[in-house]
Amino acid sequence: MTDVDFDDGRAAERTELAWSRSALSLLACGAATAKGIPKVTDGHPVTGVVLLVLGGVVWLAGIPLARARAAATRRGERPSASLRDLAPVACGTAVVGIAAIVIAAFFPG
């Protein structure tokens, strides 16, 4: 059995990878939406650009935060997430959700 409090630093790596995957998926969706996917949809450049910008923001916001937490873990500190850390994530999630509702309500089809 391993000790529950043991952390070999991989959690920080997984967090950084998760931010990178999220940003990459938004960038890929933005590019596909802007260009359009044959036999599925025509291109929607404005929506695609919005997704591309969101992907960049996610990457720019998440990577430095994940690296700072990884550095703290390497120093032996175990920082817990504070309201300052979680507020941008919560607000970003809310903005994306509201945007999805607005797009679904005003631009059906």
Instruction: Report pLDDT digits (tens) over 49-86.
Output: 888 888 888 788 777 877 787 788 778 777 677 888 78
Residue 14 counted as domain residue: yes
CB atoms within 10 A of CB 35: 14
pLDDT at 8 over 70: no
Residue 26 counted as domain residue: yes
Residue 43 counted as domain residue: yes
At a CB cut-off of 8 Å and minimum separation 6, what does 66 contact?
12, 15, 16, 19
pLDDT of residue 76: 78
Residue 49 counted as domain residue: yes
Structural domain span for residue 35:
10-79
What is the tally of structural domains in the chain? 1
H or E stretch at 20: helix 10-35
Do 51 and 26 touch, CB atoms closer than 8 A? yes
